[in-house]
Structure 1
Amino acid sequence: MFSHFQYKSVGLKARKPKWEISFFYQGAYYRALYLHNGKFDWFEPAPPESEQEKLQSQIHELMLFHVYEK
């Protein structure tokens, strides 16, 4: 599980919103853009590829709760 999850809206609130997300996972700090279609653009360093699918699923659930179910 990751900790200190944060998100903020980036750019204009247009048809295709995006959010910058950040969190700590296994002692490392990670950042990404979470796009309107649920895809991720990872900043460097990106989490290990073996962990990305699990992390993306957990982040997607958080974003559904915090952003889309307002």
Structure 2
Amino acid sequence: MIQHFRYKPMFKNTQLPGWTFTFLYQGQPINGVYHKTGDIEWTNPIVFHNTEEEEKIKKQLHELMLYHVYD
């Protein structure tokens, strides 16, 4: 489960999409970039147990971004 989710625009001009985000996952800090295309770029080394776990986290992150940014 994602905890302590935070995001902020990458650019001062808020019409240019792109956001940086941070959150905790199982006590591990996770950082990344959420691109306007919905692509996620991890900016710190992350060790997921498998690709299924990573996809689950990406889905949760997409839902959070849709709620906070596009709503």
1:1-70 correspondence to structure 2 within 5 Å: 1-11=1-11, 12-15=13-16, 17-48=17-48, 49-50=50-51, 51-69=53-71
Runs of 4+ in 1 over 2 A off after TM superposition: 12-15
Q: Give the Å deviation of 1:2.
A: 1.3
5+ unaligned residues in a row in structure 2: which ranges?
none
Q: 2 CA distance for matches of 1:36 and 1:21?
A: 13
Q: Which amino acid counterpart does residue 58 of structure 1 have in structure 2?
A: Q
Contact 1:2 1:25 (8 Å CA) reproduced:
yes
5+ unaligned residues in a row in structure 1: which ranges?
none
Task: Report the 3-state secondary structure (helix = DSSP H, G, I; strand = E; otherwise coil) of the residue aligned with 1:44.
Answer: coil
Q: 1 CA distance for matches of 2:64 and 2:19?
A: 12
Q: Which amino acid counterpart does residue 69 of structure 2 have in structure 1?
A: V
**TM-score computed with the length of structure 1 as normaliser:** 0.85
Q: Aligned in 2, Cα 1:47/1:18: closer, same or farther, shift over 3 Å?
A: farther
Q: Deviations over 1:11-35 (max 9, x none)?
A: 24345x1000100001100000000
